[in-house]
C-alpha cells in the first residue's frame, strides 16, 4: 500500500543470544548462538510471545526446535513438488441435521499435502475464500419433524432446490470458468453436507479433469487418507430379481446396513440391487484409504455395466444411501449423464427414507 520496503519478520533466537538469566532460554548450553540452526524468522508479536517470561515454560528449546524442524520439512516438501503436482481445491460445507464441521483452507491444504504429494491452489472468489460452496445458511435444513407434516415437507423440498442452485452457481461461474481458462489441471474435492447434495455435487464435476475426492474420518476427525489402513473391496448383489421395468432400487450399504423393511412401500415390487463390502462389516469409517474408495467406484461401474447389459429398460434408479461422504460424491461423478439411468435420491429421516431430489 505504501510502496515502501518494511521489515515484516524478526530473527528470534531459540537458545538466548546471551548466556544470562535475562536472555530467554539463555542458560541452555550452546557454544555458537548465531548459526541458522539457532534462529527462527517470526513476526514481531510471535517474537514477543515466545520470549515473554510467562511463556518460557511452554516455548522450551526442544519445542522451538521441533516447530522449526517441522516447518522446514513441510516447506522443503512443498517447494520440491513440480508444477504438475498442483491441485485446485473445492470445498463444500453444509449442515447435516444441524451439525457442521471445520472445513477451512488450512484443513484442506494439510490433507492434500500429506495424502497425495500435491500442493493446493485456491481459485479466488469475490470473498477471497477460494473455491467454496457454502450451504450453511440455506434455510430449511432441519424443518421436518419426527414424522413430517405437509407444510414442513414442502420446506424441505425448498431446501434442496435452493442448495442445488447454490452448487450450480459456483460450478458454472467459478469452477467451469477456471477449467475453460486452463487454470484447473487437477481438482481436489472436500464435501460435508447431506448425502443427496454430495451426489449432486459429484454429478456436476467435469469428468475430463482428474479429480481426487476426500473423506472426513470419524476416528481421528481428519481429512487425510491413511496409507496403512486395510483396502476394502465391494460387490454388487441382485437382491430382488423382479422383471426389469423402468424403475429399480439401489441400496448402498457402506457406513450402515439398510434393512429390507426400510425400503419405501412404493418401491417394494421393483428389482433391487445392493452394494456392500466384501469380508468387512459396514461401518462409518470403512473408507479409511483412498484405495477403498477406488474399489467402491469400480463396484459402481460394474453395476452400471450390468444395467447396460441386462436391464436396459431401467430409466430411473431409486437410491437409498448409507455411505460415507466421499462415496456420495463418487456416485454422482461415476454416473454418465448421457447413458445411465436418472438417479432418484432418498434421504434418511426418523420416519424412513424420503425422496430428496432427482438427478436427470
My answer on whether 67 and 179 are in the same domain is no
Q: Do 271 and 189 have their domain in common?
A: no
| Domain membership flag for residue 228 | no
Is 151 a residue whose pLDDT tops 60? Answer: no
Q: Using the predicted structure, report yes or no on whether residue 3 has a pLDDT greater than 80.
A: no
Examine residue 221 and state whether it is found in any structural domain, yes or no: no
- CA dist 275 and 300 (Å) reads 8
Q: Is residue 125 pLDDT above 70, yes or no?
A: no
**CA of 165: how far to CAs of 10, 24, 140, 161, 265, in Å?**
48, 56, 14, 6, 30
225, part of any domain? no
- Identify whether 226 is part of a domain: no
d(CA 157, CA 357) in angstroms, rounded, equals: 8
Higher pLDDT, 190 or 79: 190
Mean pLDDT, to the nearest integer, of 221-230?
93
**Which residue range forms the structural domain that includes residue 88?**
83-213
What's the count of helices (H) and strands (E) in the chain, helices before strands?
A: 8, 13
**Same domain membership, residue 193 and residue 147:** yes
Q: Which residue has the cell 421393483?
A: 270
Looking at the fold, whether 103 and 44 belong to one and the same domain comes out as no
Chain-wide mean pLDDT for the chain? 88
Please tell me the chain's helix, strand, coil percentages from 3-state DSSP, rounded to the nearest 5: 35, 20, 45
Same domain, yes or no, for 64 and 104?
no
Over 90: is that where the pLDDT of 120 sits? no
Mean pLDDT for the stretch of residues 3-16: 80
- Verify that 243 and 204 share a domain, yes or no: no
- Give which of 231, 266, 276 is closest to 355, Cα–Cα: 266
Is residue 1 in some structural domain? no
Q: Report whether 22 contacts 57 (CB < 8 A).
A: no
Question: Where a domain ends, among 213, 243, 278?
Answer: 213
Q: 3-state class of 335 per DSSP?
A: coil
Q: Which set of grid coordinates corresponds to residue 270?
A: 421393483
Burial (CB count within 10 angstroms: exposed 0-12, middle 13-18, buried 19+), residue 270: buried
| End position of a domain, from candidates 79, 95, 127 | 79
Contact 137, 118 (CB under 8 A): no
Q: 83 phi and psi, to 5 degrees?
A: -60, -30
What whole-number percentage of the chain has pLDDT above 90?
Answer: 63
Say yes or no: 137 and 23 in one domain. no
pLDDT in tens, 319-333: 999 999 999 999 999
- Is 187 found in the same domain as 101? yes
For residue 91, is it within any domain?
yes
User: 227: helix, coil or strand?
Assistant: coil
Q: How confident is the model at residue 346 (pLDDT cuts 50, 70, 90)?
A: very high
Together in a domain, 328 and 347 = yes
How far is residue 182 CA from its own chain's centroid? 23
Q: What percent of the chain has pLDDT over 70?
A: 91
pLDDT at site 172: 95
- The residue that leads in pLDDT, 279 or 244, is 279
Q: Do 113 and 74 sit in the same domain of this protein? A: no
Nearest to 94 by CA among 174, 173, 170: 170
pLDDT at residue 5, rounded to an integer:
66
For residue 224, tell me if it sits in a domain. Answer: no
CA distance 319 to 248: 9
Supply the pLDDT for residue 156: 73
Nearest CA-CA partner of 184 in 132, 121, 117: 121
Query: Per the structure, how many domains does the chain have?
Result: 3
Residues 193-224: pLDDT tens digits? Answer: 999 999 999 999 988 999 999 999 998 899 99
75 and 101 belong to one structural domain? no
Does residue 238 carry a pLDDT above 60? Answer: yes
Domain boundary among 79, 114, 137: 79
pLDDT at 303 over 90: yes
Average pLDDT of the residues in 50-75: 88
The pLDDT confidence band at residue 192, using thresholds 50, 70 and 90, is very high
325 belongs to a structural domain: yes
* Residue 94 and residue 68 in one domain: no
In this prediction, residue 126 carries a pLDDT of: 43
pTM over 0.95: no
SS (H, E, C) 158-200: HHHHHHHHHHHHHHHHHHHHHHHCCCCCCEEEEEECCHHHHHH
Amino acid at each position: 500500500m505504501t510502496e515502501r520496503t518494511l521489515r515484516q519478520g524478526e530473527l528470534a533466537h531459540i537458545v538466548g543470544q546471551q548466556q544470562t538469566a535475562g536472555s530467554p532460554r539463555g542458560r541452555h548450553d550452546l557454544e555458537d548462538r548465531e548459526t541458522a540452526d539457532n534462529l527462527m524468522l517470526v513476526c514481531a508479536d510471535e517474537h514477543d510471545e515466545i520470549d515473554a517470561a510467562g511463556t518460557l515454560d511452554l516455548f522450551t528449546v526442544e519445542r522451538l526446535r521441533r516447530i522449526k524442524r517441522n516447518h522446514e520439512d513441510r516447506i522443503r516438501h512443498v517447494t520440491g513438488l513440480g508444477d504438475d503436482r498442483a491441485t485446485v481445491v473445492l470445498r463444500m460445507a453444509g449442515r447435516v441435521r444441524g451439525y457442521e464441521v471445520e472445513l477451512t483452507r488450512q484443513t484442506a491444504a494439510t490433507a492434500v499435502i500429506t495424502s497425495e504429494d500435491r500442493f493446493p491452489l485456491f481459485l479466488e472468489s469475490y470473498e477471497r475464500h477460494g473455491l467454496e460452496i457454502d450451504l450453511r445458511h440455506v434455510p430449511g435444513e432441519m424443518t421436518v419433524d419426527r414424522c413430517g407434516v405437509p407444510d414442513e415437507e414442502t420446506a424441505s423440498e425448498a431446501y434442496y432446490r435452493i442448495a442445488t442452485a447454490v452448487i450450480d452457481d459456483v460450478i458454472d461461474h467459478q469452477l467451469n470458468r477456471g477449467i475453460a481458462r486452463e487454470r484447473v489441471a487437477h481438482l481436489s474435492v472436500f464435501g460435508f453436507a447431506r448425502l443427496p447434495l454430495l451426489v449432486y455435487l459429484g454429478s456436476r464435476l467435469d469428468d475430463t479433469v482428474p479429480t481426487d475426492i476426500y473423506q472426513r474420518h470419524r476416528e481421528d476427525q481428519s481429512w487425510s487418507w491413511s496409507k496403512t489402513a486395510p483396502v476394502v473391496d465391494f460387490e454388487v448383489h441382485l437382491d430382488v430379481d423382479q422383471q426389469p421395468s423402468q424403475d429399480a432400487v439401489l441400496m448402498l450399504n457402506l457406513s450402515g446396513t439398510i434393512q429390507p423393511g426400510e425400503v419405501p412401500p412404493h418401491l417394494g415390487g421393483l428389482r433391487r440391487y445392493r452394494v456392500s463390502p466384501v469380508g468387512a462389516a459396514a461401518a462409518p469409517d470403512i473408507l479409511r484409504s483412498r484405495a477403498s474408495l477406488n474399489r467402491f467406484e469400480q463396484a459402481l461401474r460394474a453395476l452400471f455395466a450390468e444395467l447396460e447389459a441386462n436391464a436396459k429398460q431401467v430409466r430411473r434408479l431409486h437410491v437409498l444411501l448409507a455411505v460415507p461422504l466421499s462415496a456420495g460424491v463418487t456416485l454422482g461423478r461415476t454416473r454418465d449423464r448421457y447413458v445411465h439411468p436418472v438417479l432418484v435420491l432418498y434421504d434418511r429421516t426418523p420416519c424412513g427414507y424420503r425422496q430428496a431430489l432427482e438427478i436427470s
